[in-house]
Structure 1
Amino acid sequence: MPACPLSPPRPLHAKDDSRLGWAPGVPGPLRRVLLRTERSLHGERRSRLGKKGGRGRGNGGGGRGRKADQSCRLRVVQVTVRELGLGYDSDETLRFKYCGGSCRQDRNMYQMVLEHLLDLKGDLVASRSSAQPCCRPVGFEDVSFMDSSLEWKTLENVSANGCRCLR
């Protein structure tokens, strides 16, 4: 079954930026910032779970060794306007919000039919749909900043303002 084409499908490794395939149009500088953020989130998760991915000792790992929340939610990273990669000259720092995390997969009739079609006509159907829900923005916000010429600029629909699991 193919992974959701726009959601991070697997843990991030040192030189692997393929996880950011969920954002194909993201400019290089912002892509690197998102990659660093995802690496840092992955590192925090690993340190909470221990080196081997276990949940702690003894009774199944409740309490301190609790697993980090990986569900679909709004995430925030601090970036400069220049790091957005949109050609604006400003060192002003912005809060860029994006959607990330996994979506619980409920097995319903649609899911069963789609899986069957993917098995039968994999290439034809797989290129157009995903069998699992994806974490996506449900709305966007504008971002305003002052550029190096001391002029206010407003960019429309730059940052996510809410996330949901969508099929």
Structure 2
Amino acid sequence: LAALVESPAVLMVATVDHINATLIQTNHHLQSFNWIYYRADTFIFSWKEIIAGQSVLLGLNPKSNQTTHSLSSLDVLWQSLAANSRLILRMFYAMFFHTKEPVAFWDLFSAAKDEFLVSSDTALRQQLVELSDHRILKWKRGEEGNEQLVGCLDRNLVEKFLEEKGLNLDMV
């Protein structure tokens, strides 16, 4: 990245929306990349982050691990996901509701790889971490020590949400 940005033919615009944005780059990085730091605080309350995050107001309680998702909280998450992550979410719940049992990680990986949604298990894990962080699914160990995924959402909610998106669970 440093070599790319140092080229006079390359112009790059970057924004950072983080409370510690000034700590991300050191003085050396600022000088070598020729960054121009411009502060543009809006102080606008981030409702989308509250809805998608751990909000007690929305029933998302990190201590009790209980989650009450709504169509709107799922929609916020959906908007933040890449197209392949959306399809993986749909694929997981199709498998989960079809078998009514936890989905083995490697079964989901095989299905996602067959649909060209991921190319490696690492890529799938990265996408599943996002879903796990938002309490859409959770990891558990099976009796034989294998990794399994369990859905945290009610079938009716998932079906209604996918229906709003013009999709359904008929993948398996």
Q: Give the number of the structure whose residues are more often strand, by fraction.
A: 1
The TM-score with structure 1 as length reference comes to 0.20
Structure possessing the higher radius of gyration over alpha carbons: 2
- Structure with higher RCO (Cα < 8 A, 6+ apart): 1
TM-score by length of 2: 0.20
